[in-house]
Amino acid sequence: MSKTKLFEPYKLGPITLPNRLVMAPLTRNRAVAGMVPSPLAVEYYGQRASAGLLITEASQVSQQGQGYQDTPGIYSKEQVAGWRKVTDRVHERGGRIFIQTWHVGRVSHTSLQPNNGAPVAPSAMRAKGKTFVGGTFTDISEPRALTLEEIPGIIESFKRGTANALEAGFDGVEIHGANGYLLDQFARDSSNKRTDAYGGSIENRAKLMLEVAAVVAAEAGAERTGIRISPVTPANDVSDSNPQPLFDYIVDRLNALKLVYIHVIEGATGGPRDIAPFDYGSLRKRFKGTYVANNGYDFELATKVLAADAADLIAFGKPFISNPDLVERLKAGAPLNAFDKATFYGGGAKGYTDYPALGEALDAAQ
């Protein structure tokens, strides 16, 4: 086996990670009662506690921030209590866990919104695409543009979500600034046609993401605040006419805020890594904190990128869905369980907590 830094410890702000593997945020749509994480979620995250760092599935900071059925929230007392059981289990197993906080913006459906209203967006432009409601994929609803007066309320919801996350025992917070959700909708010029202080120039479009980052860092401490970005992903129907200067600027400002990490989806989320030209090395250079790389990584690519010092940590998504003991398997050079796409979103234990660890798989075969 080639020499790898993947299993070396790493100091992430005040936290020491025993290895460089991060479990990427993965929406699983199983918070069926009041958008509260279920007992199965406690088991699911607990099974994966050997990851250097776990990042939870995206969790909405308000009802308005929800875009798919049965995704967990971090705005009610019951949700905080549900997450507390998750963090307790992960900590009992010796793990570390951040929550990904989320506002979907326009990627939603009226049936999920307060009073069945329109989802909110930088501009009243519908995203082409589907969301998951009522057990099926349905067209995303027509949104309305947020007024200038509503923006402080959005920032406040991320601040409250952070306070709740700390109360729930999380080790830190990852702001979801990626994949065409609200903060990314503001940043990119295909979805932001505003003419006020939050539209037009790069500085104006980046403003909401940076204001959210500042309040979350003030609440949790910058050393416990990370953010996820995806400079060129076309996910959820967003694009930008000139992403390099936009994300160079964003990362310069995030560096000034001293966030503990940037988590970068390189290429199209879950798709080609080379979908569009982009210099990730430029982000790496600008950001003095930790660079977490994601998208399509396997052992070989992770080893190569760590050896080249192009990233500090590597986030794995789908491999963690089907391999609770991904760390041990990669260490042993053991084969990985294949994942079943049919059980990604919604359902119960099947395809969620029933993927076997290595010893269990051997036992089952005997």
Ligand X SMILES: Cc1cc2nc3c(=O)[nH]c(=O)nc-3n(C[C@H](O)[C@H](O)[C@H](O)COP(=O)(O)O)c2cc1C
199 binds ligand X (CB under 6 A): no
Of 45, 68, 75, 181, the catalytic one is 181
CB nearer ligand X, residue 234 or residue 296: 296
Task: Find the shortest distance in angstroms from Cβ 296 to ligand X.
Answer: 4
7-15 long-range Cβ contacts below 8 angstroms, 24+ apart = 7/327, 7/331, 10/52, 10/290, 10/312, 10/313, 12/53, 12/260, 12/261, 12/290, 12/313, 13/172, 13/221, 13/223, 13/224, 13/260, 14/223, 14/224, 15/53, 15/96, 15/171, 15/172
Q: Which of 343, 291, 290, 349 is nearest to 318 (CA)?
A: 343
Q: Annotate 107-176 with DSSP letters as a single string.
A: S--GGGSGGG-PPEESSS-PPSSEEEETTEEEEPPPPEEPPGGGHHHHHHHHHHHHHHHHHTT-SEEEEE
Quickly tell me which residue has 């506002």 as its tokens: 103
Question: Which stretch in 73-81, 91-99, 118-126, 174-182 sits in contact with ligand X by CB under 6 A?
Answer: 174-182
Binding map of ligand X across residues 219-258, x = CB under 6 A, - = no contact = ---------x------------------------------
Are the CB atoms for 141 and 197 separated by under 8 Å? no
Residue 89 interacts with ligand X (CB under 6 A): yes or no: no
User: Has 181 been annotated as catalytic?
Assistant: yes
Contact (Cβ atoms closer than 8 angstroms) between residue 96 and residue 56? no
**Site pattern 9..28 for ligand X (x: CB under 6 A):** ---------------xxxx-
Binding mask 289-318 for ligand X (x = CB under 6 A): -----xxxx------------------xxx
* Stretch touching ligand X by CB under 6 A, among 132-140, 149-157, 173-181, 200-208: 173-181
Per-residue x/- track, 27-46, ligand X (CB under 6 A): x-------------------
Contact region for ligand X (CB under 6 A) — 3-11, 38-46, 128-136, 264-272?
A: 264-272
**Which residues would be at the binding site for ligand X (CB under 6 A)?**
24-27, 57-58, 100, 176, 178-179, 228, 265, 269-270, 294-297, 316-319, 344
